[in-house]
């Protein structure tokens, strides 16, 4: 009887795990930090395809939007949470007429936020910017591109409910190596072990 219960629980776990990875696609977790105690994390969906358009100059504008893409964090006394999307602008090295592009490539996380009021204000938006030279971003990718040491190439902008905003340099923006799906599976096996131990203990007592 005990073996049947454990096997049934294992089957439920595998079914739940398969459904959860399908339902929540393939989330990738990122962390970020910046001046004035900006810190937080966001999720991008690896399984959802980019929506990409190409203009007459051969430049590509790609947007990644998914229902699971979320963001949360703090900025000084403020805390915030909301939804995010990724925008990528990829230009060719030269336009068809031979001219060099003037506007750089970029990788931007844009977020719509809410949070508790502090001194009559709350956070409403946060944008995380990575600018590069033209043709340094090649195709839509969830990997943040390399950037120069200039604060103008690696920065954030945060907006408040009264229309004011702050800007500053980012200190870091990286993806977390461990996937959420793997963590879920590990927690599931830990749960099975705990239930199996409990059933064994009951049978012995």
Q: pLDDT by residue (tens digit) across 60-82? A: 899 999 999 999 999 999 999 99
- How would residue 13 be classed by pLDDT, with cut points 50, 70 and 90? very low
Examine the domain organization and report whether 12 and 74 are in the same domain. Answer: no
Examine the domain organization and report whether 59 and 1 are in the same domain. Answer: no
Give me the pLDDT at residue 142, please: 95
Q: How many domains does the chain have?
A: 2
Indicate if the pLDDT at residue 140 is higher than 70.
yes
- 205 vs 203: CA distance, rounded Å: 6
Examine the domain organization and report whether 157 and 93 are in the same domain. Answer: yes
Examine the domain organization and report whether 62 and 121 are in the same domain. Answer: yes
Give me the pLDDT at residue 148, please: 79
Indicate if the pLDDT at residue 5 is higher than 90.
no
Examine the domain organization and report whether 22 and 63 are in the same domain. Answer: no
What crossing angle do the helices spanning 2-23 and 180-204 adopt, rounded to 10°? Answer: 170
- 103 φ/ψ angles, rounded to the nearest 5 degrees: -80, 135
Element (H, E) at 70: strand 70-75
Domain that holds residue 194: 1-26+179-205
Quote the radius of gyration of the chain (alpha carbons, Å): 22
Examine the domain organization and report whether 73 and 101 are in the same domain. Answer: yes
Examine the domain organization and report whether 111 and 190 are in the same domain. Answer: no
**Residue 82 has which token pair?**
């909301």
Indicate if the pLDDT at residue 104 is higher than 80.
yes
Selection from 165, 63, 169 nearest residue 109 by Cα: 63
- 86 vs 84: CA distance, rounded Å: 7
The answer to pTM > 0.75 is no
Most trustworthy range by pLDDT among 14-28, 120-134, 189-203: 120-134
Cα 39 to the center of its chain, rounded Å: 13
Q: How many CA atoms lie within 13 A of 15 on its CB side?
A: 6
Average pLDDT over residues 26-34: 96
- 117 φ/ψ angles, rounded to the nearest 5 degrees: -75, 135
Examine the domain organization and report whether 1 and 82 are in the same domain. Answer: no
């Amino acid at each position: 009887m005990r073996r049947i219960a454990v096997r049934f629980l294992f089957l439920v776990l595998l079914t739940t795990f398969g459904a959860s990875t399908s339902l929540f696609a393939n989330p990738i977790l990122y962390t970020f930090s910046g001046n004035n105690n900006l810190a937080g994390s966001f999720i991008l969906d690896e399984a959802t395809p980019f929506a990409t358009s190409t203009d007459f100059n051969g430049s590509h504008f790609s947007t990644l939007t998914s229902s699971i893409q979320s963001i949360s964090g703090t900025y000084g006394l403020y805390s915030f949470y909301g939804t995010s999307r990724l925008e990528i602008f990829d230009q060719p090295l030269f336009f068809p007429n031979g001219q060099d592009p003037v506007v750089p490539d970029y990788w931007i996380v844009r977020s719509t936020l809410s949070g508790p009021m502090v001194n009559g204000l709350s956070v409403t938006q946060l944008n995380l910017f990575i600018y590069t030279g033209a043709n340094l971003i090649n195709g839509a990718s969830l990997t943040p591109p390399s950037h120069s040491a200039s604060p103008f190439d690696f920065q954030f902008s945060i907006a408040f409910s009264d229309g004011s905003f702050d800007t500053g340099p980012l200190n870091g923006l990286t993806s977390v190596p461990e996937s959420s799906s793997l963590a879920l599976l590990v927690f599931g096996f830990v749960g099975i072990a705990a239930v199996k131990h409990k059933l064994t203990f009951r049978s012995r007592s």
